[in-house]
Structure 1
């Protein structure tokens, strides 16, 4: 009985049209084979015509409701979708345009350096609008974490990746340091870029990129699919909260400490060392000048790992 009541509420207009049509049909048969229950002459015809119009109106309302439900189903399907291959890069490119917000959580930020920061800053500069970026990556000073991350990446693809390099703990460390340096370098060159940086003590196997239009959730494996969530979906709000909560628990890097520090267009090794010391994120003592130069190259002349 409860199921029938639910069905009746969902299909009340169609059910009513069916009842009216059945009643008029039954009365019409009785008129033919029995007494005139609808009246005689013009009055009976007018009653039948009015009933027919009512049935047609209810049928039209039913069709409109079904069309509305179909449109909502299509919108819901487009709100969350899977993206594959080269479409992922196009999705990122579309997200870079018109956004004034970018929240990132991932490994070392290789793609962030190679594409995202550069494109977001370029678009914001053209539009003469502020740009806010929140970046959370692994902590490059945590040797065990860098080793674990390198093992994970190597397990996905044992050979060289799109940059031509294999993953080692040393590479993970330099990539993460390079992301910090790149964020500071771009911040100095675009006054309206606000950067919030944090270093996580835990690695993630996913990469989140949240713009003001949608969330893109990808995996470190370039052959894996990505998932896109539109802004007006509960998923977007959930991941927004997740990124904020995760960032608040990570180790903050106070970028304001280097506000008065000047980096050259092509920073020197000494400038890089001074930057990290000022950020209270000193480079390992084992880092030679060549290691610092390599980190600078990764920061400002990065290779796109997926393109």
Structure 2
């Protein structure tokens, strides 16, 4: 085929395509013009023929309308499809949010004893981050060790507390606790109380390690004061505040917040020095003041110039503390 013939063929194709695209417009125009012409020649064309022409025009217009609606419908369908996907994603996010909210509940101060007891049931691990460990030391750790001994199972415990060797951090924590202690709440929080509490938690951790071969325990000390206490078991994360008048939070394992805080606790321990127990010798069932001093020297946390009675106070806190949540 010559170049001229190819050009003619392309022109013919364009003309046919144009005619196809606009046929539904041209036909009504032609028929309408024809009907108008018939009105001027009504004597020449029978009534039935004029009616047929009119119906043909209406039919062509109806076809054009359907065609336009079809095209519009496809456009709408595409728009709806594009809108549905973000909507489905939003519904899914909302559902996840509602589900997550159902896994988080507030806990009144008078419920904390039962909440901790539930969290300890059948758990194989416990992670704590807080001040001096005034609950994990006398309650959580002994209860977990006893349960693991009865089950003959492994137990992993990670503890992060205020560094008793840092006077500045202990002083800052005692001031923080004082600001939330209501009048007449008992023994005031002082530098001495904070320091002895942290020392007692370190001693308690090693004492239990001597008595449970399957216990994997680590104690990390930090100079950063945390406004919250974290207790994490296999099933729950308990977030508590140092203000005894405020509600606390119980977060179940299936919640995203549980996973986020689990990572946060791990990262926090990575930046808090771990106490090395490897150089310490085994403690007796009820250590003496000299044993305690030797222990703290061995782990790199020497005691200040405490008297024997003050060291005995630390030992008593380590082994016979009081549950602060007990009713």
What's the TM-score bracket when you normalise by the shorter of the two chains? 0.7 to 0.9
- Cα deviation for residue 195 of structure 1 reads 0.8
1:139-158 map, 5 Å: 139-158=163-182
Distance change in 2, residues 1:180/1:160 (3 Å): farther
The answer to whether structure 1 residue 229 and structure 2 residue 229 are counterparts is no
1:211-230 map, 5 Å: 211-230=233-252
1:22-33 map, 5 Å: none
The answer to whether structure 1 residue 198 and structure 2 residue 198 are counterparts is no
Please list every run of 5 or more consecutive structure 2 residues that lacks an aligned counterpart in the other structure.
1-75
Residue deviations 1:86-131 (CA, integer Å, cap 9, x gap): 2222111011111111010000000111211011111111111110
1:1-307 map, 5 Å: 5=81, 8=84, 75-159=99-183, 161=185, 164-258=186-280, 261-284=281-304, 286-307=305-326
TM-align CA RMSD: 2.6
Tell me which stretches of 4 or more aligned residues in structure 1 moved more than 3 Å.
1-12, 68-77, 158-161
SS of 2:316 mapped into structure 1: helix
Measure the CA separation in 2 of the matches of 1:147 and 1:88: 27
Distance change in 2, residues 1:73/1:202 (3 Å): closer
Please list every run of 5 or more consecutive structure 1 residues that lacks an aligned counterpart in the other structure.
13-65
Distance change in 2, residues 1:223/1:262 (3 Å): same
- Cα deviation for residue 271 of structure 1 reads 0.7
- Cα deviation for residue 187 of structure 1 reads 0.9
TM-score by length of 2: 0.70
Q: Is the 8 A contact 2:174 2:194 kept in 1?
A: yes
Distance change in 2, residues 1:228/1:3 (3 Å): farther
Q: Which has the larger radius of gyration?
A: 2
- Cα deviation for residue 85 of structure 1 reads 2.4
Measure the CA separation in 2 of the matches of 1:198 and 1:106: 11
Q: How many residues align?
A: 248
Measure the CA separation in 2 of the matches of 1:72 and 1:249: 33
TM-score by length of 1: 0.74
Residue deviations 1:195-250 (CA, integer Å, cap 9, x gap): 11110011101000111112111111222211122112221111111101110101
- Structure 1 partner of 2:30: none
